[in-house]
A and B are shown apart, each in its own frame.
Chain A
């Protein structure tokens, strides 16, 4: 199985801050990497697919980059609704696997 490791596990920030979350794969996954946002008690929401493509309807303050084994999710200016947990997921090979999550707190 491909292991996905996110850092940091938690992050404190303020409204208006720029934040970056990193996801590393245990082997090369090209750009088969996707990012999700999850609020407590809610289903995950797709933000970024194929490492850098913005899902329809997602604000442009979210961006993704990377290829191979290292990827980043950047939020350019945090808004109150952005405080949530973020997960990366690889779809390079089955079983598809997720990172352990990064909790973004105020």
Chain B
């Protein structure tokens, strides 16, 4: 069973850029899709986007102008960059992997990392 672990800063200032990394263990990242999902405190989940192992990406249009997802197969990890942060970006950020059967349910999740946007 693949395991995912997020890492990155817990506190970021407004207008700055958030950079998070998801380390994948127990399997190769060089297959299928890898995704980021976030959850503001007390609110519902929001899909941010995904990256295919080849490097192709699809983003949520609500964040598309500010988000970049990249992949480093040599390190077995993928990353999220989110620019121009505001308080509305305060959330728990999860990395996740969809099922491999094509339904795109999220069967594997990291534990999540809380990111607070505040000066």
Which of B58, B60, B103, B109 is A44 in contact with, Cβ under 8 Å? B109
The smallest beta-carbon distance between B18 and chain A, in angstroms, is 19
Query: What chain A residues lie within 8 Å of B101 (beta carbons)?
Result: 49
Interface residues of B (CB under 8 A from A): 44-47, 58, 60-62, 94, 98-99, 101, 103-107, 109-112
Query: What chain A residues lie within 8 Å of B44 (beta carbons)?
Result: 87, 98-101
Select from chain A the residue with minimum beta-carbon distance to B48.
A95
Within 8 A of B (CB), among A21-47: 32, 34, 36, 42-46
- Given the known interface contacts A43-B94, A43-B110, A43-B112, the answer about A97 and B103 at a Cβ–Cβ threshold of 8 Å is no
Which of A42, A50, A89 is B45 in contact with, Cβ under 8 Å? A89
The number of chain A residues touching the other chain, given as a range, is: 20 to 34
Select from chain A the residue with minimum beta-carbon distance to B108.
A46
28 cross-chain CB contacts under 8 A: A32-B104, A34-B105, A43-B94, A43-B109, A43-B111, A43-B112, A44-B94, A45-B109, A46-B99, A46-B105, A46-B107, A50-B105, A87-B44, A87-B45, A89-B45, A89-B105, A89-B106, A91-B103, A91-B105, A94-B60, A95-B47, A95-B62, A96-B47, A97-B47, A98-B45, A98-B46, A98-B47, A101-B44
